[in-house]
């Protein structure tokens, strides 16, 4: 059974870097042709795709977040991570990690973690 | 800027049938957009229902079905149950590695 679990600070100060990790169990993040994504949901809003990393390390980001977001893969720990630089209150959201066989949809989801940006 | 459109809300009676749609602010949705659907109940992980238009994800009952209706992707729930009350999101592949969620449809079953 594939499980994804997000972890990281629940509170980040404005202008700092948000850092989250997704630990995958029951499946290798280095499995060929798999994609690992980050998605967020602002309070009272819908889902927003942030970006993904391919098993080979190639990354794609939502254009409006491309200059601020970095997704990386750690195959030794079977994890992938998100860093979002220069955060503001507008980055307060529940962040989900997800994964799957395609860049076009998601097969597996984490439970989500709330990150609040506040001084 | 292209927006993926969904009905903000929908209501269905238990045992009834409802069709939720997923369109584009400009243009038509086809299978080339690889539409997928997700059920999201607050406080829980989203659940994948459907991908590549009409392929049910593992464990999803066959009362959920996907299709292209006219110029939109559609998710039909036949024999709605109270447990189906949730928010449903569609996702479209826009090309170049970029995907876009719709705003979600809040489904009420009563």
What confidence tens digit (pLDDT) does each residue in A103-117 have? 999 999 999 999 999
| The predicted structure's pLDDT at residue B43 | 85
pLDDT for residue B56 is more than 90 = yes
pLDDT for residue B42 is more than 90 = no
The mean pLDDT of B21-31, rounded to a whole number, is 96
pLDDT for residue A75 is more than 90 = yes
Chain B residue nearest residue A100, CA to CA: B48
| The predicted structure's pLDDT at residue B97 | 87
- Asked if B40 has any chain A CB less than 8 Å from its own CB, the reply is yes
Chain A residue nearest residue B5, CA to CA: A46
Q: Out of B34, B36, B45, whose CB is closest to A109? A: B45
pLDDT > 70 in chain B, percent: 100
pLDDT for residue B1 is more than 90 = no
Least confident among A1-5, B49-53, B57-61, B94-98: B94-98
Rounded to a whole number, what is the distance in Å from the CA of B69 to chain A's nearest CA? 20
| The predicted structure's pLDDT at residue A86 | 97
- Which of the four pLDDT bands, split at 50, 70 and 90, describes residue A39? very high
- Asked if A106 has any chain B CB less than 8 Å from its own CB, the reply is yes
Rounded to a whole number, what is the distance in Å from the CA of A75 to chain B's nearest CA? 22
- Asked if A62 has any chain B CB less than 8 Å from its own CB, the reply is yes
The mean pLDDT of A5-18, rounded to a whole number, is 97
The mean pLDDT of B2-12, rounded to a whole number, is 96
Specify the long-range contacts of residues B2-6, CB closer than 8 Å, at least 24 apart.
B2/B26, B2/B27, B2/B94, B2/B100, B4/B90, B4/B91, B4/B92, B4/B100, B4/B101, B4/B102, B4/B103, B5/B102, B5/B103, B6/B88, B6/B89, B6/B90, B6/B102, B6/B103, B6/B104, B6/B105
Task: State whether A107 and B97 contact (CB < 8 Å).
Answer: no
Mean pLDDT of chain B: 96
- Which of the four pLDDT bands, split at 50, 70 and 90, describes residue A46? very high
| The predicted structure's pLDDT at residue B70 | 95
- Which of the four pLDDT bands, split at 50, 70 and 90, describes residue A40? very high
Give CA–CA dist A96/A92, Å, rounded.
13
The mean pLDDT of B8-29, rounded to a whole number, is 97
């Amino acid at each position: 059974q594939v499980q994804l679990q997000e972890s990281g600070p629940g509170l980040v100060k404005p202008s700092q870097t948000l850092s989250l990790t997704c630990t995958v169990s029951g499946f290798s993040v280095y499995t060929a042709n798999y994609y690992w994504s980050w998605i967020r949901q602002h309070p009272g809003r819908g889902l927003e795709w942030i970006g993904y990393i391919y098993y080979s390390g190639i990354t794609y980001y939502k254009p409006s977040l491309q200059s601020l977001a970095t997704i990386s893969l750690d195959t030794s720990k079977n994890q992938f991570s998100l860093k979002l630089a220069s955060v503001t209150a507008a980055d307060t959201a529940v962040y989900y990690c997800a994964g799957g066989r395609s860049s076009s949809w998601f097969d597996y989801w984490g439970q989500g973690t709330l990150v609040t940006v506040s001084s | 800027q292209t927006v993926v459109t969904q009905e903000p809300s929908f209501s269905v009676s238990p045992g009834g049938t409802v069709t939720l749609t997923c369109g584009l602010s400009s243009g038509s949705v086809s299978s080339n957009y690889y539409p997928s659907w997700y059920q999201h109940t607050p406080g829980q992980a989203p659940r994948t229902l459907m991908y590549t238009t009409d392929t049910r994800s593992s464990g999803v009952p066959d009362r959920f079905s996907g299709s292209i209706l006219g110029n939109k992707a559609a998710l039909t729930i036949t024999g709605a149950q109270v447990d189906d009350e949730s928010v449903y999101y569609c996702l479209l592949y826009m090309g170049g590695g970029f995907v876009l969620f719709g705003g979600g449809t809040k489904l009420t079953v009563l």
